[in-house]
Structure 1
Amino acid sequence: MLWGGMYVVAKWGLSVVPPVTLSFLRVALATVVLLAVVRATKPARTFTRSEWCRFIGLGVAISVTLATQFLGTALTNASQSSLLTVMTPIFILLLGVILLDEEVTRVKMAGVVIALIGTALVLSGQYDLSRLTDTNLGGIVSLFTASLAWAAYTVWGRDLVRKYSALETATYATAISVPVLLAMTLVELWMRGSAIGKNVASLSFLLGLAYLSVFATALAWYLWYKGLEYADSGTIAVFFFAQPVVGSALGAFFLGEELGPLFFAGGLVMAIGLYVVSVRTKV
C-alpha cells in the first residue's frame, strides 16, 4: 500500500528532478532514517566477508531495480510498464523455488493465479492492454530486468533477515545502494545538463520527498523484509499485486482519475487471491 502511494507522489517529484536523481535523494534520506533507528535499537554487529558480499549484492540489486524501472517506464507506454507489477511476484516465486527450495503448494499456486487475474482486470481497466505488443525491446528488457532485480533483492535477503533482523538487512542493503545511485545520478545530471527544476526547495516537493524516503522506502522496505521473518518469499510476493490497486485508488482521489467497474471487480478478485495465499498454504 505504501508503494501504491508512490504513483501519486512521483508525478509531482519527477516534474522537479529527473528520475535517477529522485531515486538517489529518496534512498539517501531513507538510509539516514534507517541508520538512526538501527543505532538506537540494535547492537553493534560484526559481519563476515561472505555476509558483506551478500549485502553488496542486495545494494546493487536495489540500484539496478530503481534505474531500470525508470528507464523502462521512459521507453515504454503505460500498458507495457504494468509488466513490472505483474512479473515481479512471478520472478520472486520462481527464484524462491530455485534458490531457497521453497515449496509451491496447489493452494498457493491457485491463490497466485487468482491474484494475477484480479491484477490483470485492474490494469485492463486503467490502461490499453492492446498496446502491450507495441515494439520497444529496450524498454521491455529494462522492465523485466527491474522485476528480476527486485526478486533477487527479496530472495537473497532471506537468510540475513532471519539470522539478524529485517531492520538491519534493509538498512545496510539500502546504505550500500547510495554510492551506486550517486554515480548514476552524476551521469544523469551530466547528460541532462543538470536539469533540476526551480521548485526543488518548495514545500510540496520536500513533503513528497519525505513520503518517498520515510514511508515508501525506509518503512516499506523494512516491512517487506519483515514479512520474510514469518513467511516464505513466494507467499509475500503475491502482496506485490496490491500496489496497482492502491495506486489507482489514490490516483482517483488526488488526481481526479476515473475508476471503471473493472477496477472494483479486479480488486475483489485480487483480495481473494491474497486471502488464499496467506491463509490456506498448507495443501
Structure 2
Amino acid sequence: MIGILYALLSAGLFGLSTPLAKLLLGDVSPWLLAGLLYLGSGLGLALVRLVRRSNEAGLSRRDVPWFGAAVLSGGVVGPVLLVFGLAQSSASEAALLLNLESVMTLAIAWIVFKENVDRRLLIGAAAIVAGAAVLAWPRDAAVGLSWGPVLIAGACLAWAIDNNLTRKVAAADPMQIAMVKGLVAGIANVAIALALGAPLPGAAAAAGAGVLGFFSYGVSLTLFVLALRHLGTARTGAYYALAPFIGAGVAILLLGEPIGVAFVAGGFLMAVGLWLHLSEQHLHEHVHDPLEHEHVHVHDAHHRHAHAPGTPPEPHVHAHRHARLIHRHPHYPDLHHRHSH
C-alpha cells in the first residue's frame, strides 16, 4: 500500500538525522543546530516548489489554528529538546529512544482524538515503552534517570502532539505544510539561539545542517503527511517507529559506538513492538457519513461524484461531497475512514 511506503521512506530519512546531527554538535550549538535543520528544510522545499508546480489543495483559513499549534510543538519545542538531549546521550541510544514518539502519537490519537486502536497495537506500544525504559535506565548506582533520555522523551511528546495536530490538515499540500513549518520553526530557533549568544558556525557546518534538514526533516515530513492521509495518525506513527532503528544502526557503523546489553535488550523489545504494529490488519463493514472536503483525488470507490464542465483530468483538486456509503473492505483511518467502532 502506498501509505505504508510513504511512512517507511519518511522513517528512513528521519532515522539518519540523529547520528548525523550528533556529528554536527561539535561545530554548532544545540539550539542553533535545531534552527538550521528546520531552516534547511524550509528553504530547500521552497526552492523545489519554485520549479515544481503543485496540484494539491492549499492550506485554508480553518487549518491555521491546528497548523500553528503543530508548528510550535513539533517545529520549535521538539527539535530544541532533541539536540540538548543528544548532547547528553549516545547517538545509538538516543535513536532508539525516539521510538517513544510512535507510542505517544498512538496514545494521543486513541485517547484524545478517538482513533481506533486495537489490542495488538496496544501490546506493541507496551513493548516499545519497555524497550525505551531499558535504554534510559541509569548505568551506575546514582538514583534517577539521566537528563539526556528525559529531554529526548520530551521531544518525542512534542512531536507526538505535532503528528496528531498535523493530521487535521493532512488533506492540504504536504510540501506546503513542511515548507511553512520549516521556515517558521527555523527562523524562530535561529533567532533565539543567536540572541542567547550562540556562536556562528563555519560555512561547511551550516551547509551540512541545511542539507541534512532538507532531507531528514523536509522531505521526511512531506512523506509523513502523505502517509497520514492513507493510514491515520496511530498507524503512521507505528510504521515511523522504524526510524530509531535506522538511526541506531548508522550510529554504530558511523560513530563506532559499542553494542551493550541494554542496547540489545531494548532493541529486541522495540522490534517486537514494531512487528506487532506492522502485522496488524483491519477489516469490517463500516459506514461513511456524508462528507464534504477538498483534496487531490482520483475516482476510486470513495469518489463517485459529478463534475462541472472544464474540470481538469485526474488526479485533480476540487471541493466535493461524499454521499452516505456502507461497504466492507480492509482499511485504515485515512481521510475517508474516520468512523467509530
1:160 alignment partner, one of 169, 176, 184: 169
Larger strand percent: 2
- 1:143 Cα shift? 4.3
State the one-letter code of the partner of 2:71.
G
Task: Give identity over the alignment, percent.
Answer: 22
Alpha carbons 2:19, 2:247 under 8 Å: kept: yes
1:26 alignment partner, one of 37, 45, 52: 37
- 1:253 Cα shift? 1.4
- Structure 1 pair 256–27 and aligned structure 2 pair: CA distance change class (3 A): same
- Structure 1 pair 93–282 and aligned structure 2 pair: CA distance change class (3 A): same
Give ranges in structure 1 of 5+ residues lacking alignment.
Answer: none
State the one-letter code of the partner of 2:62.
S
- Structure 1 pair 210–68 and aligned structure 2 pair: CA distance change class (3 A): closer
Correspondence for 2:70: 58
Q: What are the within-5 Å matches in structure 2 for residues 32-111 of structure 1?
A: 32-39=43-50, 40-43=52-55, 47-61=59-73, 62-74=75-87, 85-111=98-124
How many Å separate the matches in 2 of 1:260 and 1:102? 37
Correspondence for 1:182: 190
How many Å separate the matches in 2 of 1:86 and 1:130? 24
How many Å separate the matches in 2 of 1:34 and 1:90? 29
How many Å separate the matches in 2 of 1:142 and 1:94? 19
How many Å separate the matches in 2 of 1:249 and 1:70? 19
Correspondence for 1:172: 180
Larger helix percent: 1
Alpha carbons 1:166, 1:229 under 8 Å: kept: no
- Structure 1 pair 231–87 and aligned structure 2 pair: CA distance change class (3 A): same
- 1:164 Cα shift? 1.7
Q: What are the within-5 Å matches in structure 2 for residues 188-267 of structure 1?
A: 188=196, 190=197, 194-196=198-200, 200-202=202-204, 205=205, 208-260=208-260, 263=263, 267=267
- 1:81 Cα shift? 6.0
How many Å separate the matches in 2 of 1:95 and 1:42? 31
- 1:265 Cα shift? 6.2
Q: Answer with 22-31 or 45-54: which moved more.
A: 45-54
**What TM-score results when the alignment is normalised by the length of structure 2?**
0.66
2:157 alignment partner, one of 148, 153, 158: 148
State the one-letter code of the partner of 1:50.
R
SS in 1 for 2:27: coil
Structure 1 or 2, whichever has the larger Rg, is 2
- Number of residues of Structure 1 aligned to a counterpart in Structure 2: 269
SS in 2 for 1:173: helix
- 1:97 Cα shift? 1.8
State the one-letter code of the partner of 2:192.
M
State the one-letter code of the partner of 1:27.
Y
Correspondence for 1:134: 144
**What TM-score results when the alignment is normalised by the length of structure 1?**
0.78
Alpha carbons 2:45, 2:218 under 8 Å: kept: yes
How many Å separate the matches in 2 of 1:269 and 1:72? 22
Higher relative contact order (CA 8 A, sep 6+): 1
Alpha carbons 1:66, 1:146 under 8 Å: kept: yes
SS in 2 for 1:41: coil
How many Å separate the matches in 1 of 2:62 and 2:139? 44
How many Å separate the matches in 2 of 1:132 and 1:225? 42
Alpha carbons 1:20, 1:67 under 8 Å: kept: yes
Correspondence for 2:315: none
CA RMSD of aligned residues (A): 3.4
